[in-house]
Structure 1
């Protein structure tokens, strides 16, 4: 409870800083200056909301994929979900460039789901005692899909779109009208919160889940939908964001244990706090210019992950 309250207070503080920081100094002009008000409502507020939604959704989806795979060293960005979604977006861009946005998102989410399902079938033959083989297999699968996406993008002169989807990870282009799909990602994360107990039971194994009256395949399908939908929407809106779904769930698990009903909301708050802090840092490092949040998070996330590997967990 104390951790939840602390994260909420930190998130409120960071939201206030995010609304105040930017290339334009709004200051006291907000009350009278129409231009300052326009910047606030069209740029600052949507950007802050987009960062919060993205961080929370990615952190929750990281927990879900870890429960499905039963391995704490994976996230949607390391099991081929993002690359599969990019392949779906690339296919729509080539074959139906005039398709509605919801159609592109549906195809991307479906491709992400298919790519993740293929990864799950690939790791079934791996020995369960070799924990590190699962993330290694995920990195190989992601690399194969990423190479395929880059090859098709290069051959079809769409390499700039591929770079935006897979390599950017920044919020400078987020304005009102260009982030609203992230609310769907947030809704998917809330759906995962309601199914937290089912995901926790699934993490015990198929036999244990079946013995407790749960259908492992149904819960796995639900988890795949949540992960693929969140990944596709985030990637198409702001690009790939690394480490959130890997670092935050592990930190929360070490602090609170494996009770997903209690820890999943804290994980969502932690993801929002981490990503918003990195976004503010990226805006302040070379102000008034920006460092992409993906770059800041890549450095910070790598350091946090190394700390997690070296420190012993508080629970188990």
Structure 2
């Protein structure tokens, strides 16, 4: 057996569980393309049935791509925040990122009711990034950064933002309109309404490129400075990246 073959065998053994999970994910993803309110038969697709092809290209395939991009994006966003804070309980939910994105969507609906999806995305970007930065500013001033205190601060700050969002929604009778954006389902994902999730792909690639920097920053300010890594720049860049991914995933519908 050559060295290349040995490396291949060792890689398969060390990543066996990952390969199995990826295989299961691939099989289930393929099955989901043909299961729904209207069942699609693979034979009809190969024969070029126009009705079946329309359902497949307009609904089923966009839905699957949106689900995969959203899942990948949210997992990467949470991993970035956990690594930067060295806290396994930190996520876009406990870091006030999602609450801030919701506020941005409401502001877009209030001040730009005729805006398109991309304009509302910019609002969500701005508020998600701003809210996440304020959260980082808070946790940098916590003296005892144990595993429980940091997410508690994020939850409290997120609830404050959520309260402001609810107040504005009730005052301007936008509760129903806001709720339609916050329902966690993919049934409305169709061709022409999901393309924005493609922005998740370059952001995830960028996160992988700077993964080593995030790992270094997670070890602390002094360790980062000793290795010549700008602590504050990488910290806020990582949280900005996480906030942008979260905002995009919230704009999928």
Aligned counterparts, 1:243-262, within 5 A: none
TM-score, normalisation: structure 1: 0.71
Q: CA deviation at 1:129?
A: 5.1
CA distance in 2 between counterparts of 1:225 and 1:183 reads 18
CA distance in 2 between counterparts of 1:164 and 1:157 reads 13
* Unmatched tracts of structure 1, length 5 or more: 239-316
Deviation digits for residues 51-104 of structure 1 (CA, Å, limit 9, x no counterpart): 110001110110111122221101101211111111112212212223343232
The equivalent residue for 2:75 is 59
2:192 is the counterpart of 1:177: yes
The equivalent residue for 1:205 is 220
The equivalent residue for 2:18 is 4
Checking the alignment, whether the CA contact within 8 Å between 2:96 and 2:157 is kept in structure 1 is: yes
Of 142, 153, 156, the match for 1:126 = 142
CA distance in 1 between counterparts of 2:152 and 2:96 reads 12
Q: CA deviation at 1:2?
A: 2.6
Aligned counterparts, 1:16-95, within 5 A: 16-27=30-41, 28-30=43-45, 31-95=47-111
Aligned counterparts, 1:106-185, within 5 A: 106-128=122-144, 130-166=146-182, 168-185=183-200
- When structure 1 is superposed on structure 2, of 95-104 and 187-196 the one drifting more is 95-104
The equivalent residue for 1:255 is none
Secondary structure at the counterpart of residue 110 of structure 1: helix
CA distance in 1 between counterparts of 2:205 and 2:90 reads 21
Secondary structure at the counterpart of residue 207 of structure 1: helix
Larger radius of gyration: 2
The equivalent residue for 2:10 is none
Checking the alignment, whether the CA contact within 8 Å between 2:194 and 2:252 is kept in structure 1 is: yes
Q: CA deviation at 1:125?
A: 3.1
2:252 is the counterpart of 1:226: no
Checking the alignment, whether the CA contact within 8 Å between 1:123 and 1:134 is kept in structure 2 is: yes
Q: CA deviation at 1:217?
A: 1.6
Deviation digits for residues 105-147 of structure 1 (CA, Å, limit 9, x no counterpart): 1221111011011111222233435321111111111111111
Runs of 4+ in 1 over 3 A off after TM superposition: none
The equivalent residue for 2:115 is 99
The equivalent residue for 1:235 is 250
Deviation digits for residues 257-286 of structure 1 (CA, Å, limit 9, x no counterpart): xxxxxxxxxxxxxxxxxxxxxxxxxxxxxx
Change (3 A) 1:37 1:221: same
Checking the alignment, whether the CA contact within 8 Å between 2:66 and 2:252 is kept in structure 1 is: no
Question: How many residues of Structure 1 are paired with residues of Structure 2 in the alignment?
Answer: 237
CA distance in 2 between counterparts of 1:173 and 1:108 reads 20
CA distance in 1 between counterparts of 2:220 and 2:100 reads 26
RMSD: 1.6
The equivalent residue for 2:208 is 193
